[in-house]
Amino acid sequence: MTIATEAPERVGPPSKAARPHPIRDLLIKRSLIGILTLVLVSILVFAATQTLPGNAASAVLLNTATPQRLHALEVQLGLNRPAVDQYWTWLTGVLHGNFGKSLANGQPVGTLIGGRILNSLALVVLAGAIGTLIGVGLGVLAAARRDSAFDHVLSVTSLGVTALPEFVVAVVLIIFFAAVVVHWFPAVSVFVPGTAPWSNPKELVLPVATLVIVVVPYVFRMMRASMIDALESDYVQMARLKGVPKWRVLLFHALPNAIAPTIQVIGLTFLYLAGGVVVVEYMFNYPGLGQALVSAVSDRDIPQIQAIVLVLAAFYIAVNILTDVIALAVSPRRRLPRS
Amino acid sequence: MTFSRREFLKAGLAGSLAVGAGGLLSACGTGNTIKAFTTSTAGKPRTGGQLRAGLTGGSTADTLSPLNAITNVDFSRINNLYEPLVGLTPEAQPVNVLAEELTHNANATEWTVRVRQGVTFHNGKTLSADDVIYTFQQILNPKAPAAAAAGLASIDAKGMTKLDAYTVRIPCSTPFATLGQALAIPGYSDIIPVGFSPTAPVGTGPFKVKSFSPGTQSTFVRYDGYWQSGMPYLDEIVITDYADQTSQVNSLLAGQVDAVNLLSEDVISEVQGESKNVLLSPGGGWNPFTMRVDTGTFSDVRIRQAMRLVVDRQQMLDLVFGGFGTLGNDLFGIWAPEYDHSLPQRHQDIDQAKSLLKAAGAEGLHVTLVTSDIAQGTVLAAQVFAQQASEAGVSVSVDDVTVNEFYGTNYLKWQFAQDYWFYNFYLPQVSLATLPSSPFNETHWNNPRYNSLYAQAIATSDDALRTEIAHEMQQIEYAEGGYIIPFFPPVIDGFGANVGGLVPSKIGLSLNAYDFKGVWLS
């Protein structure tokens, strides 16, 4: 039913432009599909919450759930209404920009998760940016000195680190830098509620470091491989023969061509980070979206679950579109129509 | 093997005690396994400072309303914001707080409460009889009954009358000689002012709320108008929610928090090794196994008796709580004056269990035990039970469900499951759990003799006679009941060396039942 109302929009605007504009077309098409995806996700998530045992009322009351108390709270929260009815109320609310109130504590979902979105975003963006820079940098260096001791050590180390899950990395960092060896950084990230993540820089260090350590190997290995390909190509040989300085060859001839496949990996890295923060937030007690999602699920707090899942899904969609756009922008030949 | 582990732990604890300056050893309670101790070096009480507590057990469903306080960690906030008419001492005995006098008529159908004068709420309003009436009307509101409603159901909310500005007459629909005990249960008589709003919560407690983000952090500041002179010592309390014990302990060791709650015994040595203190309390809470006596396998009393006899209680306590805590005797209300200490301690007796099962025609019995991570150690206790039962040829499959499923539609209907309770006095607990009218009669216990004894007990104002009757009730439960109560779990908390004034509490809540008004920082 809801899907049908979206359907006409899916057709998209008529292609009045004579010249194809691949980036704009891609943006429009993918955004529309993205919105449809969000609606489908919200239906799926809502359906999934209905199949979970218990509801928000029993989650709140726990062992004080007498039938009278349970009934009173269900009526108060509107949980006694049919599921479709509940979903419809929620959806119309969202279309009016109202994400509803938390079933667990009655506060507006927007205020509950607004700050957390910012906190998680700070983690993801910082870890993604730092991890990308380090990964790309090390990848270029390793490729330039292929088969050197430097290259071997890096490759083996990155393989080893890949095998470590986030929680192991986090525990090791905590032991060394927070709890046991030295007390340089806090072992858990406690923000005063309402303060921005950048006003708590010390609290960010270990969570970001954990994520950086986890993502660098992927970017590094992809960058190294595609850089080696590029360095072996004819135009790089040509440039070298012409006597172009080595750093110029590396940065201006090889790197632009090697970066396109790496951008996809960087995109994947950001997507991975959006999920990976859940574990890291849990380990460091970091007040982000992942931690909120875990507790919202155990509280059966449907409006909060929905809002968080939609934010995460929207992030996935946006990053996917963005990586495709960037990949198109940096490789002109892919913009030409395929023959 | 388990024995040597316990010995090892004890040795470790003794060692750290010897090292700790000003060490104080207070062996408590009835069991010989309790070693409660503090090694605070905080010196004499001092005013000022901010106590940072890192607590687990919170969630986004946390509340500041005393009407709906449910979890252990809810009381960390409630017990500092509000005060009850009657409270509990660390020894779990009733003590008047806001009530100055509490009396009842001869047949205990009418109580009279006089509250203290000169007590003010955080908004400046003076405590009066109207607030008491309002509080009980809110607790017993039929449209939104509070957590305490079931335990105070005998109060006739409509019939309460104000005798003067500070005195209220509380009529009861049935005799209720144990009202004074019931009011002492955390959250049962926390007084809220007329027109109380959960969004701007005010109480008469030593601290008032400054900020509150459910499941994240809350801040409380000293209430300067607090009626107990010289209290509280602290300027501020910051309570931060932690997801698990690992981050909690890391944070304590790194000096980010001053106190943490609900630790498991396996981190005791880690905490003490870093010159922090452990607060070990002989809790009065209880985590029973619940057998439904009305239908199915356990309707045969011999099978229930056999199940009680397969439990090696000491071993279970060793494995689940490192031997800390108190052995249980299948009876609740251990610190209550009515608790029957004369009944012999029940021990594992596999032969007896086997012969009971044989007599019941239930050899090779197979049962499903529904467990869930509802309280510390419940799942582990279920697994230990399954192991011990196998010695008598009973195969127990442990069904570990989520907390939501546990308290979902099947709650109070499970054939064989577990539960957890905080400390309660014996007779008020009976009214909640073991009468046909009890809202939480999870064992579906309905014994006519027992029921009529209860009616007699709460109608008598003679303490000695009431105790005698309560003993007879316990003898019935001891012989035939549906509960297996193998132990009373300890409560293990950690705190920094700079924290003074924390004493073990027998209530089953952490950190001296979160009574922070007597806590100071050096």
Q: How many CB atoms lie within 10 A of CB B230?
A: 10
Among A119, A168, A190, the strongest candidate for a mutation testing the B interface, having the largest count of B CBs within 10 A, is A190
Distance CA A191, CA A189 (A): 6
Are A69 and B147 a contacting pair at CB < 8 A? yes
For residue B214, what are the contacts with CB-CB under 8 A and spacing of at least 6? A104, A105, A107, B58, B59, B60, B61, B62, B63
DSSP state letters, A100-125: -B-TTT--BHHHHHHHHHHHHHHHHH
CA distance B324 to chain A (A): 25
For residue A179, which residues of chain B lie inside 8 Å, CB to CB? Answer: 250, 253-254
Distance CA B418, CA B431 (A): 19
The half-sphere exposure of B367 on its side-chain side, counting CA atoms within 13 A, is 30
Per the CB < 8 A criterion, the answer to whether B305 and B435 are in contact is no
Judged by DSSP in three states, B400 sits in strand
pLDDT score of B185 more than 60: yes
For residue A137, what are the contacts with CB-CB under 8 A and spacing of at least 6? none
Interchain contact B95–A (C-beta under 8 A): no
Give the nearest partner residue to B250 out of A59, A112, A179, using CB atoms. A179
- ipTM given for this complex: 0.78
Residues B54-80: tens digit of each pLDDT:
999 888 888 999 998 888 889 999 999
CA distance B233 to chain A (A): 23
Q: How do the pLDDT tens digits run along chain A, 339 residues long? A: 344 444 444 444 544 445 667 788 888 999 999 999 999 999 999 999 888 878 888 888 888 888 888 888 899 888 889 999 999 999 999 989 899 899 988 889 988 888 889 999 999 999 999 999 999 999 999 998 989 999 999 999 999 998 888 889 999 998 899 877 888 888 888 777 778 888 888 889 999 999 999 999 999 999 999 999 988 889 888 888 988 888 888 888 888 888 888 888 888 889 889 888 888 988 888 888 988 888 888 888 999 999 999 999 999 999 999 988 888 887 776 666 654
pLDDT score of B436 more than 50: yes
For residue A190, what are the contacts with CB-CB under 8 A and spacing of at least 6? A203, A285, A287, B217, B240, B251, B256
Residues B501-520: tens digit of each pLDDT:
999 999 889 999 999 999 99
Instruction: For residue B223, report the phi and psi dihedrals to the nearest 5 degrees.
Output: -95, 110
Per the CB < 8 A criterion, the answer to whether B75 and B491 are in contact is no
Residue B23: pLDDT band with limits 50, 70, 90 = very low
Measure the CA angle with vertex B412, ends B411 and B416; round to 5°: 95
For residue A186, which residues of chain B lie inside 8 Å, CB to CB? Answer: 251, 254, 256
**What pTM did the predictor assign?**
0.82
Q: Percentages helix, strand, coil for chain A, rounded to the nearest 5?
A: 75, 0, 20
Give the nearest partner residue to A193 out of B142, B211, B408, using CB atoms. B211
* A:286-305 residues touching chain B, CB 8 A cutoff: 287, 291-292, 294-296, 298-301, 304
Closest residue on chain B to A116 (Cα): B216
Distance CA B290, CA A325 (A): 61
Distance CA B99, CA B428 (A): 19
Give the nearest partner residue to A188 out of B149, B251, B409, using CB atoms. B251
Average pLDDT over residues B352-364: 94
Give the Å distances, CA to CA, from A339 to A24, A334, A336, B95: 20, 11, 9, 89
Burial (0-12, 13-18, 19+ Cβ within 10 Å), B120: middle
Give the nearest partner residue to A105 out of B61, B403, B419, using CB atoms. B61
Distance CA B287, CA B490 (A): 11
**Unique residue bearing structure tokens 């890295």:** A269
* CA B518, chain centre distance (Å): 20
Are B60 and A58 a contacting pair at CB < 8 A? no
